[in-house]
Amino acid sequence: MIKIVHHRNKCIGCNACVEAAPKRWGISRRDGKAVLVNGIEKKGIYTIDLQDWELEENLKAKQNCPVKIIEIIKL
Amino acid sequence: MTTNKTDSPKVELMAPAGSYEAMMAAIKAGCNSVYFGVEQLNMRSRSSNNFTLEDLEKIAEIGKKNNIKTYLTLNTILYDHDIRLMKEIIDAAKKSKITAVIASDHAAINYAKKIGLVVHISTQANVSNIETIEFYSAYADVIVLARELSLKQVAEICTNIKRKKITGPSGNLVKVEIFVHGALCMAISGKCYMSLHSNYASANRGACIQNCRKSYVVTDKENGVEFEVDNEYIMSAKDLCTIDFIDKIVDAGVSVMKIEGRGRSADYVYTTTKCYREAIQSFYDGTFSTEKVEEWKTQLATVFNRGFWDGYYLGKKMGEWSNEYGSKATQKKIYIAKGMKYFSKTGIGEFKMESHTLEKGNKIMITGPTTGYVEATVDEIRVDDKLVELTNKGETFTIKLSEKIRPSDKLYKIVEE
C-alpha cells in the first residue's frame, strides 16, 4: 500500500500531475488547482491510501510537480 | 526619506511588492506605484510569500492612504481550468478598487475590459512595434514594452503614439512603460521553456527554477571533448541597470519606469526604489551628474545583483553574462533579533537577540510588514538599562531609533562582503 499526500494550497495549477497520472489527478475549475481524486481533506492537506499498482504513475506526478507538494509514503 | 508626492515628477516610478514588507519599503523610498501578484496566476507563483484575494482590500487601502497606485499582475499563460479563478481575481480587484490589472493573456485582458477594470499590457505580451500598440490600445492605457528593444526603438514607438494619436480606453494617449532595473532573462521577456524541459517547472506559470543561472560545461557527445568556454555561466544574463542614462529614457518619452523584483526582499526594494527616485528627481531638478550616478551605483551594488549592464537599450550587443552563481551584493544581512516594542516618547526600540551578537557601531536594518524598511547605526546598546558594548543571543536590549518599530519586525546586522 502507498499513501499520497497533497499539500493543495501551494498548488499553482500547472496540470503536470494530471498529465502523469490522469486517473488519480484532476483540475478544479472552481479554483484552478489540482485535485487528488477521492482524497480526504484535513486542514487543507489531502490524503489517500492506494494499492501499489498506482505507485509508478504517481511517482511521476510527484517528480514532475514544480512546487513539490506531492508526497508518497510507502505503508 | 519620503518624497513629497505633490512635487513628484511626471515619470511614474513603479516598485515591486512581493510582500507587505516590500510594499511599505517601496512607499518609504518614494515610489509612485507598486505591482504585486495574488494566488497562483502570476509570474512569481513559486515564491512562498504571495498575497491572497483577502489581501486585495488592505493593499488598495494602503495605496490610497499613501497616495500610490496599486497594480495587480495576472500575467501567466492561462488554461481553460484557470478561467474561473482569473475572473474571480479580476472581479475582486475591481471591487477592492485596485488601480489596474497587468495582464498578457487575451482572456484576462478581455475580461478586465468587459467589467471596467483598467488594463495594463504586461511585458509577457512582448510588445515590440507601433501596430501592436495600436492593437492593444483598444484595451489598455499603459503598455509595457518588451525588454529587448533598444532605446531608439522605444523612442520611435513613443513618438508615433503621439503622431498617430493612439489613445486608450480612457481617451488619453497610450502610456509606455519599460523595465529600468533588475533581472533579465536569456529568453525574450520570460518566454522560456528551459525550466519546463529540465524540471517540469513552467516559467510561463511562474514556476521558473532559474536553471539558466547555473554554470555549465559544454561537451561534444560524439568524442567526449569538453568545449572551452571562458565563462561557465553561459546563460545567466547580468542584471539590468539604467540609472546612468535615465535622462535618455525620460527624453525617449517613457511614462512609467518599472523595477523588477517581486521575489526580492524589503531592503532590495527600498535601496533600488530610493536610488531611482533620487535619480528621477535630480533629472527634473537639473542636478543629474556622473558623481551622483557613481554614488547610486555603489548603493545599488549593496543589494542582490548579478553584476550590472545596460540591457539592450543602448544597442544590440551580445548579452553580457554573469560570472558567478547568485548575488554580487557588496553587503550581506544577518538576522539577529526580533522586535519587541517601541517607546515613542524617548525614541527607543526594544529587541530580543535570537542569534549572533550586536556591537556598538554596527550597521543594522529593520524590516516588517508595517514598518517597511529602517536603516540605522547602533550608537549605544542597553541591556537591563545598563550601557553595554555588545549583546548576545537570548538577551533583551534597547537602542535609540528615530522610527517606530513593532513586534512583527526583524532586525538584521549589515556586514560588508
**CB-nearest partner of B40 from A13, A63, A64:** A13
Q: What is the mean pLDDT of chain B?
A: 89
Domains recognised in chain B with CATH numbers? 5-184+237-309 (3.20.20.70), 331-416 (2.40.30.10)
* For A29, nearest residue in chain B (alpha carbons): B81
C-beta of residue A50 within 8 angstroms of C-beta of residue A6: no
Among A46-60, B96-110, B300-314, the range scoring the smallest mean pLDDT is B300-314
C-beta of residue B139 within 8 angstroms of C-beta of residue B126: no
Give the pLDDT of residue B318.
Answer: 55
* For A11, nearest residue in chain B (alpha carbons): B40
C-beta of residue B12 within 8 angstroms of C-beta of residue B70: no
Q: Is residue B48 pLDDT above 70, yes or no? A: no
- A1 interfacial to chain B (CB closer than 8 Å): no
**CB-nearest partner of B81 from A10, A16, A32:** A32
Query: Is 0.85 exceeded by the ipTM?
Result: no
Instruction: Give B37→chain A minimum CA distance, Å.
Output: 13
* For A64, nearest residue in chain B (alpha carbons): B200
Contact map slice: B 75-94 vs A, CB within 8 A: 79-86
Comparison of pLDDT for B226 and B228, the residue scoring more: B226
**In sequence order, which residues have a C-beta less than 8 Å from that of residue B393 and are 6 or more positions away?**
B353, B354, B355, B356, B357
Q: Which of A11, A15, A67 has the most B C-beta neighbours within 10 Å, making it the best mutation to test the interface with B?
A: A67
A32·B84 Cβ contact <8 A:
yes
- A11 interfacial to chain B (CB closer than 8 Å): yes
Tell me which residue of A74, A72, A2, A69 sits closest to A34, measured CA to CA.
Answer: A69
Q: Which of B43, B48, B200, B202 has the most A C-beta neighbours within 10 Å, making it the best mutation to test the interface with A?
A: B200
Q: How many structural domains does chain A have?
A: 1
Judging contacts by C-beta atoms under 8 Å, the chain A residues touching residue B105 are none
Among B35-49, B141-155, B308-322, B379-393, the range scoring the smallest mean pLDDT is B308-322
A14·B202 Cβ contact <8 A:
yes
**What is the separation of C-alpha B8 from the centre of its chain, rounded to a whole number of angstroms?**
20
A15·B81 Cβ contact <8 A:
yes
- Model confidence at B255, in pLDDT bands (50, 70, 90)? very high
* For B207, nearest residue in chain A (alpha carbons): A66
* For B196, nearest residue in chain A (alpha carbons): A66
**CB-nearest partner of A66 from B81, B82, B202:** B202
B85·A66 Cβ contact <8 A:
no
- A28 interfacial to chain B (CB closer than 8 Å): yes
C-alpha cell at B269: 526594494
Residue in this structure with the C-alpha cell 549605544, named with its chain if needed = B380
Structural domain that includes position A14: 2-74
Q: How far apart are CA B237 and CA B86, in angstroms?
A: 32
Is this prediction's pTM over 0.90? Answer: no
Q: How far apart are CA A66 and CA B201, in angstroms?
A: 4
**CB-nearest partner of A14 from B86, B207, B209:** B207
What is the DSSP pairing of strand B348-353 with strand B396-400? antiparallel
- A40 interfacial to chain B (CB closer than 8 Å): no
User: What average pLDDT does the segment B292-319 reach?
Assistant: 84
C-beta of residue B355 within 8 angstroms of C-beta of residue B391: no
- Model confidence at B241, in pLDDT bands (50, 70, 90)? very high
Judging contacts by C-beta atoms under 8 Å, the chain A residues touching residue B84 are 29-32
Q: Assign residue A43 the CATH number of its domain.
A: 3.30.70.20
User: What average pLDDT does the segment B58-79 reach?
Assistant: 95
**pLDDT tens for each residue of A10-49:** 899 999 999 999 999 999 988 999 999 999 999 999 999 9
A67·B46 Cβ contact <8 A:
yes
B205·A63 Cβ contact <8 A:
no
Q: Is residue B9 pLDDT above 90, yes or no? A: no
B207·A66 Cβ contact <8 A:
yes
Give the pLDDT of residue B208.
Answer: 83
Q: How far apart are CA B112 and CA B89, in angstroms?
A: 10
Give the pLDDT of residue B80.
Answer: 93
Q: DSSP letters of B112-156?
A: HHHHT--EEE-GGG-B-SHHHHHHHTTTEEEEEBPTT--HHHHHH
B205·A14 Cβ contact <8 A:
yes
Q: Which of A14, A18, A27, A29 has the most B C-beta neighbours within 10 Å, making it the best mutation to test the interface with B?
A: A14
